Amino acid sequence: MAATHRVSAVIFDLDGTLLDTERATRDVLKEFLGTYGEVPDAAKEEKRLGQMHRESTTGIIADYGLPITVEEYSEAIYPLYIKRWQRASPLPGVNRLLKHLYKNGVPLALASNSIRRNIDHKILKLGELKDCFSVVLGGDQVPHGKPCPDIFLEAAKRLGVNPSSCLVIEDSLVGVQAAKASGAKVVAVPSLQSQRHCYSIADLILYSLLDFHPELWGLPPFEDRIQGALAMEPLLSNAQIGDAVQNNTHTLIAVFATGECTYDSIPDQISGIFFGWAKSETYGVFKAVVSTGWDLSPGKFERVMHICFLDSHNKAKTEDSLELLLIGYIRKLQSSENISQAMSITDEDQATARDALDLPAFCEYAKTRGALDLPALPEYAEPRNGLLLA
């Protein structure tokens, strides 16, 4: 791909962009307001996404008529957030991108509307990757937070580059507005899919960082795909087989359950063609390709998932419960106004997944984790097309 823009540094937001803190803390406000007999208003809370701490807190106190000050609110709710932040993990594609940019010497900064004290707690969930950033800024370290451009102007200054040569990666609308006001280029990865139509001012809109192509911005390209497939951090989910779509492809129905393997473990940003294993209580473990996306047509707003079974045409039975372990990514969904057509799993997708699932590069996590009681990997492999395939 030819570069449409050339940048020399990249600035990341934190919450909802690098870490899945938005989902991890989704019930905190509900729990807190419940002690006052109040229930969160979804529309009002969506508008608060990405706001500065004091602005957000002041709005919450006013909207729900809470008989407390900003300081009292912050002191009371802070322990609840600390606990939930421990559940947050990097979003798909984050580890891969940070390692790649850092390895290639691209200056990196972190610029969040969160206060610096909170950033220092959250960033620990990035592990060693937190050291990739030469600049870390919180909203309390600049005169005005997003949507004002101050934090991105200051980040560029500390990186020693012109704001116009920076690429900002953001999930919130106020973050995108701030980045554009600073003169930077902006990639939006919305954390609220219902608001995707609001991000037209961004230079590019993605579903997840799995679809980020550095070369579009004059940055070194990725070279880690293996025969068209990309290894990724595993996603665990529970689901139920729905109606047949065609041949051995079925819809999937969400199953909300407790424990580690829950449908909620698939982030809202996830969209595209993935592959891994499915475990049925009746038939055991078998290879599968899963397409997932969002139906945003008028009057609808829901996640849609299809599963294609690679091992047999006879293992799919409606209403069977499944455990899913997705470990690889193939591509984004096709462009189409019809969600079912966009999510079609092609013969090429199936062939790519079938071959990849025999490769140690894609199996290693499942082998060591044993999440679905998978059979042991082959001891030997023979070369094919220059790669090792079992």
Active site residues: 13, 15
Encoding tokens for residue 47?
């508008």
Residue of 222, 220, 224 whose CA lies nearest to 104:
220
CA distance 291 to 284: 21
**Cβ within 8 Å of residue 313, ≥6 positions away:** 247, 248
The 3-state DSSP class for residue 262 equals: coil
**Cβ within 8 Å of residue 42, ≥6 positions away:** none
Preceding peptide of 90 cis, ω within 30°: no
Encoding tokens for residue 305?
């998932």
Q: Which helix (H) or strand (E) holds 73?
A: helix 70-85
Q: How many alpha carbons lie under 13 Å from residue 31 in its C-beta half-sphere?
A: 12
CA distance 112 to 97: 18
| CB distance 285 to 277 below 8 Å | yes
Encoding tokens for residue 176?
């995108």
